Chains A and B, each alone.
Chain A
């Protein structure tokens, strides 16, 4: 930028040089300050995780053994567990039916994800490409459901599910969540960009509508589908209130409900609670590290609205 300015404004080369040097120094200093602030921010973001893992590796006594007097050094040393108790993970895993909860959550989250992608692709394609009667009105109504707070619908949904005799079934955990107005909206944008001629050409070759969607529309919207799928999986894995309402048997609990119950029964066994917390978020953390580009760019690019409400 200094070069541009010097090209436009006739000043002596000496003056340009000193000014550039001054700006550079200032820039470096502000860069250092930026890093300083960002590092402090990172410490705040990460500290709870570090504390969780540190606690999960202690004995029950070590976990709550804070220094009684003002001793900052001793407090900070508590971040490093001496003699790590790996058996805590086994103990926590065995003190409730976590294997079953994991199985339930993996099943439910996978079914929700596949279901939501299928219904969204079909509906989005129809709204984008088929000018059927009433499509505008119905699309408007679908978008309107985006404004409805999920939580306000939980009580009547509970009554509906109870009448369908779905309490303590996978149907109750999956079926209400296999449609997403936002995904329909998002994918419709993608499909609208598809030229109609491609379909006409494919139809001449005897390609059916469904096969066309599967072979052309889906691959073209892959980035959006991956982002939508990731958010759906994580949203389902992390959801607590709905599974809490529609399950009562231990064998039907999802991981979050199981962990919530574990918190009630082990109120003060922090080493076990933190071990269970760690293995509960581990799958999501792994997915996040492998797919973080899709997450972050998905939010930034494909439409931010994505799922502030559905995730939490």
Chain B
């Protein structure tokens, strides 16, 4: 009897011991986990996560320059800055430019990359050399690339054609072009459209809207288009490599089967290649769009005055808030934060939209 109780007691004892040691192990495991992730989480939290909330807080003040972490409380103005920005003609122009920059660099860039990838995804000689060459611009700093671009597309002057591209144009009998100094839209230039300006009442909201819309539909300025070419040149190798990876995942048997049925060329591409690489295409579209909306160095380096000129026709979102914060200090940090928050929301909406679209359209 007594021995039985003692046995039970010792069993309870060991159970409790087991539970305690298990708790201790669990605690140790948790602690180990937290310590290991701490450095990464601290840096990401302080410098990547928190700043978005912080930018929002700063955007609620009207304080171009301030000391410390927050401006003085009497500087708090609520959503005032957002109203200011929506009434800022330059902001709307910058937004339009950014949309053209993204559209141009993403659509033309991806089309070029897909074309190259299709050519490179077949058994030809020297494939490694081509890949190396096309990828080279991607590792080159955008500042250097932009400097070369400025020089290649330099405008004509009294001494002659100015830059290499114009010299080539003149060489084949054309007229030199003021690439980086031309603020008119490329469609406007191509179809010779005159912009609609209501000179009687230029500040009227209606005429502002119509003027803004027509200037947007005139296309990116030739100067911006020249910079879009730079963006495409620099990233096309990256997109090509990703497309090649996507193409190699398409099962070869599908092509063989379709060929037996007599399909070839364009039919093969339309019915097999294009649907099956759609995950790659959507992935690249998302990454490139987000990248294009954040473009800074291309415009900062290549635009003629390095500030988004001529006439703000190459100014984009990131350059806009950089200049607001660090050059035109009457606008300052709070105004720049407001722009940053708007950019953030545009990108979030774009990502959600593109992910939705991908979910409904992509064939996995």
- Return the contact of B36 from the options A51, A125, A241 (Cβ within 8 A): A125
- Which of A55, A127, A144, A209 meets B32, CB within 8 Å? A209
Q: Shortest distance in angstroms between B116's beta carbon and chain A's nearest beta carbon?
A: 6
- Contact count band on B: 35 or more
A245 interfacial contact with B, CB 8 Å: yes
In the bound complex, residues from chain B placing their C-beta under 8 Å from that of A247 are none
Query: Given A152-B55, A304-B245 in contact, is the A312-B142 Cβ separation under 8 Å?
Result: yes
In the complex, identify which listed stretch (A80-88, A96-104, A178-186, A220-228) lies at the interface while the others stay far away: A178-186
| Residues in A whose Cβ lies below 8 Å from that of B143 | 238, 240, 256, 259-260, 263, 280
> Residue among A46, A71, A152, A154 with the most chain B CB within 10 A?
A152
Q: Which of B119, B137, B143 has the most CB of A within 10 A?
A: B143
Q: Contact at A149–B242, with CB atoms within 8 Å? A: no
- Taking residues whose C-beta sits less than 8 angstroms from the other chain, chain A's interface range is 35 or more
Contact with B along A116-146 (1 / 0, CB 8 A): 0011101101110011110100100110110
Q: Which of B189-197, B214-222, B342-350 forms part of the interface with chain A?
A: B342-350
B337 lies within 8 A of A155 (CB): yes
Q: Known interface pairs A148-B52, A150-B294. Does A72 touch B151 (Cβ–Cβ under 8 Å)?
A: no
Q: Which of A68, A145, A234 contacts B139 (CB 8 A)?
A: A234
- Is there contact, CB below 8 Å, between B301 and A260? yes
Partner of A34, one of B29, B39, B119: B119
Please, which residues of chain B bring their CB within 8 A of the CB of A277?
A: 144, 147-148
User: Do B37 and A123 have beta carbons less than 8 Å apart?
Assistant: yes
Known: A156-B54, A295-B135. A68 touches B287 (CB 8 A): no
Is A16 an interface residue when CB atoms closer than 8 A count as contact?
A: no
Q: Contacts A149-B294, A152-B52 given: A135-B340 contact, CB under 8 Å?
A: no
Tell me if B136 and A64 are in contact (CB < 8 A).
no
Q: Are A299 and B238 in contact (CB under 8 A)?
A: yes
Decide if B55 touches A41 in the complex (CB within 8 Å): no
For residues 295 through 312 of chain A, which have their beta carbon under 8 Å from a beta carbon of chain B? Answer: 295-296, 299-301, 304-305, 308-309, 311-312
Contacts of B238 in A (CB 8 A): 299, 308
Q: Which residues of A contact B293 (CB under 8 A)?
A: 149
Closest to A311 in B: B138
Q: Which of B46, B48, B162, B318 sits near A66, CB closer than 8 Å?
A: B162
- B344 neighbours in A (Cβ, 8 Å): 148-149, 152
Contact assessment for A181 and B44 in the assembled complex, using a CB-CB cutoff below 8 Å: yes
Q: Which residues of A contact B52 (CB under 8 A)?
A: 148, 152-153, 156
Nearest-CB residue, chain B, relative to A301: B245
Q: Determine if B173 and A148 form an interchain contact, defined as CB atoms under 8 angstroms apart.
A: no
- Contact bitstring B246-281, A, C-beta under 8 A = 1, else 0: 000000000010011000000000000000000000
Does B49 sit within 8 A of A, measured CB to CB?
Answer: yes
Contact A34 B318 (CB under 8 A): no
Selected A-B contacts with CB under 8 Å, 10 pairs: A41-B130, A45-B233, A49-B148, A135-B33, A148-B48, A155-B55, A156-B340, A237-B141, A281-B144, A299-B242
B: residues with CB less than 8 A from A are: 29-30, 32-34, 36-37, 39-44, 46-52, 54-55, 58, 68-69, 116, 119-120, 122, 124-126, 130-145, 147-149, 151-152, 159-164, 166-168, 170-173, 233-238, 241-242, 244-245, 256, 259-260, 283, 287-288, 290-291, 293-297, 300-301, 306, 318, 321-322, 325-326, 333, 336-337, 340-341, 343-344, 347-348, 351
List 19 additional A-B contacts (Cβ < 8 Å) besides A151-B296, A176-B48: A45-B137, A48-B233, A52-B148, A66-B160, A67-B170, A70-B170, A72-B168, A75-B164, A123-B39, A147-B347, A152-B294, A155-B51, A156-B55, A156-B337, A163-B69, A234-B139, A241-B318, A263-B143, A284-B141
Show the binding face of A for B, using Cβ within 8 Å.
1, 4-5, 31, 34-35, 37-38, 41-42, 44-46, 48-49, 51-52, 55, 64, 66-72, 74-75, 78, 118-120, 122-123, 125-127, 130-133, 135, 138, 141-142, 144-145, 147-160, 163, 175-176, 178-179, 181, 184, 209, 234, 237-238, 240-241, 245, 256, 259-260, 263-264, 270, 273-274, 277, 280-281, 284-285, 288-289, 292, 295-296, 299-301, 304-305, 308-309, 311-312
